[in-house]
């Protein structure tokens, strides 16, 4: 039991150590909704790999984390910020945003309209395919 706990804590510490670099990259704002002056934390884009990778991590606020935890129950305006984050220069932020937009497009016309006009390059398309939500 202690071994499993130790492994969990070691992994958690590795992910937390990405914080400084992600803070710099994100300029201390949420990489999804661009909120500033709020608590930010590292979010690993699912599926979570055994060994954490900074390339699969983004820096987000607690509100965005809560929305990501309940994607299936999202209300129409919960993810409107995606219209901006789909243009992010950070590959994983852009891929996750497009993946979420595609999910919202099945329910909401605004997301469908944005999705229809979106150009997705091959590299981003491949990255989108690696993202899985439960």
Could you tell me if residue 105 is inside a domain?
yes
The total of structural domains in the chain comes to: 1
Reference 31, options 69, 68, 63, 58; nearest CA is: 58
Backbone angles phi, psi at 58, to 5 degrees: -130, 165
In which band, very low, low, confident or very high, does the pLDDT at 16 lie, cut at 50, 70 and 90? confident
Q: Residue 110: which domain range?
A: 2-129
- Residue 102, domain member (yes or no): yes
Residues 114 and 97: beta-carbon distance below 8 Å = no
Residue 134 in domain: no
Instruction: Report if residue 16 sits inside a domain.
Output: yes
Of these ranges, 17-31, 45-59, 95-109, the one predicted with the greatest mean pLDDT is 95-109
**Cα 63 to the chain's mean position, in Å?**
12
> What pLDDT band is residue 80 in, cutting at 50, 70 and 90?
very high
């Amino acid at each position: 039991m202690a071994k499993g706990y130790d492994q969990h804590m070691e992994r958690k510490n590795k992910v937390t150590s990405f914080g400084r670099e992600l803070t710099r990259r994100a300029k201390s704002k949420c990489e999804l909704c661009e909120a500033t002056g709020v608590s930010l934390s590292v979010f690993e884009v699912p599926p979570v790999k055994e060994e954490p990778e900074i390339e699969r991590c983004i820096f987000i606020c607690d509100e965005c984390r809560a929305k990501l935890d309940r994607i299936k129950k999202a209300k129409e305006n919960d993810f409107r910020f995606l219209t901006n984050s789909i243009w992010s220069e950070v590959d994983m932020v852009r891929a996750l945003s497009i993946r979420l937009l595609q999910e919202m497009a099945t329910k909401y016309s605004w997301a469908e309209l944005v999705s229809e006009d979106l150009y997705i390059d091959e590299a981003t398309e491949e990255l989108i395919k690696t993202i899985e939500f439960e």
